[in-house]
Each structure stands twice: as structure tokens, then as C-alpha cells.
Structure 1
Amino acid sequence: MTRVAAVDCGTNSIRLLIADFVGGELVEVDRRMTIVRLGQGVDASGAFAAEALERVFAASDEFAGVIRAAGAARTRFVATSAARDVSNRDEFFAGISKRFGVEPDIISGAEEAELTFRGATEALHVPGPYLVADIGGGSTELVLGDTSGVIAAESLDIGSVRLTERHVRSDPTTPAELAAITKDVDALLDSTTVPLTEARALVGVAGTVTTVAAVAFNLPEYDRSRIHHARISGADLRATTAWLTNSTRAERAAVRSIHPGRVDVIGAGALILQRLYDRMAVDEVLVSEHDILDGVALSIT
């Protein structure tokens, strides 16, 4: 048995998975997530905000302590390309290395696609090809593949935080603001090199999709056991997206299954999922709680 720890730092959240590799499979020991909004203002400034780094480092202190207590033999910390492009990347790198004792891996789009696909589809028993969609804060990863691996992949610069910061100024979001978000989403989805219509299943992963599922199912609070491998019908997706994009911030904040850190941005994220679904020859979204984090853990077993 090998115990490993995987940390994934994205635009909106930082996540930890500690798992044992037993009999060729991951057995989850601990999984947790903290909203850190690392991408706050990056679209405009090109740098991580000081308060965003403070939030990341505070969460990292907690995660590093959990990893030490669990006795993980190997740790891998990954971040996506946003961390490579910012002007103060050295401060980020130094803070992560100090806390985890490993250098952060700034993974390429191709590796991100492979890790996401592997994590999301490892225990999936539906006919392929699959389109795995990871809707993050700063970007959306689309990965088409089957049991033999990745066929096509692309990272699109549309994410829940990026689009909210770029277009939303009102509460509730105005029709004009929603139209601006939709225009940005459609432009990139229309131009993607990933052949969306070849997929027989749409697999949605990460916080935007799992939150949409929790709202669609009217869960009184977030419940991973109800979310993993659940299916959102097209009708439920449309109704949920309509509510999330037209509700007030206070109305969304009152829904306990929506993490407080997603209240402001979940509408834009849901709209990305809706516009993607509308282009595909599928009639539901299959939700997976397993994603790039699981792929990272598998990569160090």
C-alpha cells in the first residue's frame, strides 16, 4: 500500500486528496477544499493579489499539516498555467515550496487534460467516447477521449471568476450582462478544436458542475455521495441555470448546498455548462466527484 497526497491549486479553490493505492485503485482517506480566489483580479492586473496569496498560504498551512499527520509518502502539488504567467510567480513558488517541501508543478494544458480525463473516467461505466468538462474559475478544460486515452483536448479562457469579474456589475445580473457572458462563451465554444458532437457522454467535473447538481437536486446541504455519478437532465440543467443566473446574491447565499465562495460566480459557471450542453448530442450531464485531483494522485502511486 502506498499513501499519497495530491494538491490542486486553481483560480478559485485549492483542494487536497490523500489516498491509499491498494490493489490498483485509489482508496480515499481525506478530501477537502478551500475557496481561495487566487485568480482575484489576475485578468486585469497580470499578478496575484497580496490578499489572494495570503488566502492560498493559509490554506496550504492547513493542508500541509493534514498531509504530515496522515503520513503520506509522496506529495505532488499542481497548478495550471495562470501561475506561470503572473508577474509575481516567484513569491507563489517560494510560499508553496516552504509549506509542502516540494516544488509546485505548473502543468501544461496537455498534461492537465490527461490528468483530468484519467481521474474523471477511472471508474466510469458508460459507453464512450466521453467529453470531460472541467469548468474552473479562470478557464474551462474540454477533453474528449475513450478507454484508450485522450483523443482531443483544449483549454478555453472562459471560467466562472474570469467572466464574472469581466462582465457582472449588477445584482441580480442584468440581461445585458448575461448576453455579454454568453457571447464570450459562445465565441470560444464555436471555435474549439475538440469535436464536441463525437461524444456519447458529457462528464462534468469540479466545483461548478457539482454545485449545479446540488442545486438541481434541491439538496438541503452538499452531499458528495448524492453527487458522484449523478445525472442532470437537460430540463433540470436549463431550469437550474435560469435560476442561478437570474437570482439575487442573497437568494443564492441562502442555499446551503452552494459554498459561500461560489455564490458570486456560480451563475457564470452554470451558463458555461449550459452553452456547452446545448452543442452536444447528449441528453444529460453525468457528474463526477473525481477529476484532476484523482489523476494527480494516480500519477505518483
Structure 2
Amino acid sequence: MTEPRIRVAAFDCGTNSIRLLICDLHGDVKSDHLREMKIVRLGQDVDRTGRLADEAIGRTLSATRDYAELIPLLGVERIVFCATSAVRDAENGEAFCDAIEGILGVRPIVLDGPAEARATFLGATRDLDEARTLVVDIGGGSTEVVVGRGKDIESAVSLNIGSVRLTERFLHADPPTAGEIAACGEHIDALLAPIASFAPVERFVGVAGTITTVAAHALELPAYDSRAIHGAKLDRDVVRTACNDLLNMTVADRRALGFMHPGRADVIGGGALILDRIIDRLPLDTDVMIASERDILDGIAWMAADPRLG
């Protein structure tokens, strides 16, 4: 019996951005209709206060209302809203979820670290062959490091290091001082130490906004071009050079880059430093990073068809 086609709206509500994907799922085939992103900085000061700030909640709810207007226009049949690091860290996360449910009519799923990592791997590798793969997703509040083959995940780790979290905690000067960078790097290395003993992998895939922005810089793109970025194979030394360039720029110089989203310019240095340390510390049997535009948002969409995947 042929599986029915279903149109889903998948929401990824992270520390820095909220994204929407509307797509059709038909068996093992996904057809995208709309991808949208808004930088809302929901995780503003959560690392320091343990709470979602009122103004950050307001920005995120406003973006969600804008997205909600698209759902009936595009004939969506099922909605899945997933929240990650900022909401799971915040003591008022439940109140935020109540507000989202009031707008969309569905209760947000607050993914714990391992579930976030699984969804990331699912989205990033669905269309790849079964080579043993490392997937890295650097978000605003956390970084997911996942190793697996095909649909089988061997190890999935979520670390409390992200572009927003580390910028707020360590990188205060503009540009960051050598001392700030050293202290931040030491903190990252300490958290990476337990996973540096992973067995080497055949393929390294980097996903999400920090990594695709670094890829755009490595490719010297005049403007952000997802078609040029998706699937780009970048030498690790080229990636590390791009990371260090972005880390040591002023915020104004970053904003002047044609591919840079203005809402990412002030925190990209922290994310770039995480990527640089991961490349340096994790065991890789490849000198290439593959940049991918497929990530946790795609994994959330697949979860809409089969909740067991989450």
C-alpha cells in the first residue's frame, strides 16, 4: 500500500534563531516548499540568568505569529515545533511553551541534548551513503557531535558550548583579545576531551548557521548562496583559516561581509572558535569538511512523519 503524502511544518527554535520548513513527505522522499529563518536571540543572557528574557520571548513569539500566518496558506496538515538549548536551560521554559501552544495549537517538544543530536544526524545524513560519518552542529547555546553509519547512531553528545553562550561568557572585546580567546579555547578543549577518543571517521559533515557561514567565508562568496554551500568540500586548513579570520575581525567588519546575516555577526567568532577546536581535537580520517544545509530542521520534519525517530 502506497504511503500517503503529508505536508508538514517543522519549527526549530534555537538559542539564536527560529526557523520554519514546510515540506511534503512521501515515503522516503521529502520535497521542500519553504525555508525561513529569523534571528531572535531567544537565548539572550540565559547562560547568566537561567531565564528567557521578556524581550527575547517577545521577539520569538512575534516571529512565530508571522510564521503561523503561512501555515493555512500552504495547506499544512501537521505541525512539529521543537525547542532546544535555550528553552531546556531556562526556568521559565514551560511558560514560553504555553505561549507557543497558544499561537500554533501544538505543544512544543523540548529536545534534550541526545534527542537534539539524533535529530541533527537524521537531517544531515538522510540523503548520504552509509560511510561512517561525524556530524557537527554548532548552535547558539549547544554543540552536537554525532557519529554513526546510515540510520545507526554510535555516539551522540550535546555540549554546552555555542556561539551565543561563549560570546556572552568569554568574548567581550571587539575584536576579542588574545587572553579572551585563550580562555575560551581552554574551556572548549576541556569539554571536547571526553569525545577526543572517538574512533576516526571517514566523513565529516558540518551543519547549521555557524558552519555554513564559515563555509561561505572559506569559499569567498560575495553573498550567501545555499546552493554553493550545500555539499561544498573544504580542506580542513582552509576552514581553520576562515574560522580564525572571523574570530579576529571586528563586528563591523563581519557585518560588511556580503554573506553575513546581521544577527549572526556579533557571535560568529565564538562559533568559529568551537569549529576550529573541533577540527584540531577530534580524530578524523579525512582532511575535508563537507558543508551541509540539511540539519536538525530536516530531522524535525522527518519526526513529523514518524515520532519514533525523535
Q: Same fold (TM over 0.5)?
A: yes
Question: Quick one: distance in 2 between partners of 1:28 and 1:50?
Answer: 33
Task: Report the counterpart of residue 217 of structure 2 in structure 1.
Answer: 215
Question: Quick one: distance in 1 between partners of 2:187 and 2:264?
Answer: 20
Show the 5 A alignment for 1:57-206: 57-125=61-129, 128-192=131-195, 195-206=197-208
Task: Report the counterpart of residue 255 of structure 1 in structure 2.
Answer: 257
Question: Quick one: distance in 2 between partners of 1:55 and 1:116?
Answer: 25
Provide TM-score, normalisation by structure 1.
0.96
Structure 2 SS opposite 1:16: strand
Alignment size in residue pairs: 299
Choose the corresponding residue for 1:274, options 248, 273, 276.
276
Task: Report the counterpart of residue 243 of structure 2 in structure 1.
Answer: 241
Question: Quick one: distance in 2 between partners of 1:155 and 1:110?
Answer: 6
Per-residue CA shift, 1:50-84, capped at 9, x if unaligned?
11001100110111111221111000000125413
Is the Cα contact below 8 Å between 1:142 and 1:154 reproduced in 2?
yes
Amino acid paired to 2:279: Y
Alignment identity in percent? 48
Task: Report the counterpart of residue 58 of structure 2 in structure 1.
Answer: 54
Task: Report the counterpart of residue 284 of structure 1 in structure 2.
Answer: 288
Question: Quick one: distance in 1 between partners of 2:151 and 2:102?
Answer: 38
Structure 1 SS opposite 2:231: coil
Structure 2 SS opposite 1:264: coil
Amino acid paired to 1:90: E
Is the Cα contact below 8 Å between 1:145 and 1:152 reproduced in 2?
yes
Provide TM-score, normalisation by structure 2.
0.93
Cα RMSD for the two superposed structures = 1.4
Structure 1 SS opposite 2:73: helix
Deviates more, 1:225-234 or 1:133-142: 225-234
Amino acid paired to 1:235: D
Task: Report the counterpart of residue 308 of structure 2 in structure 1.
Answer: none
Per-residue CA shift, 1:24-49, capped at 9, x if unaligned?
21100000111111110001101001
- 5+ unaligned residues in a row in structure 2: which ranges? 306-310
Question: Quick one: distance in 1 between partners of 2:226 and 2:267?
Answer: 21
Amino acid paired to 1:239: T
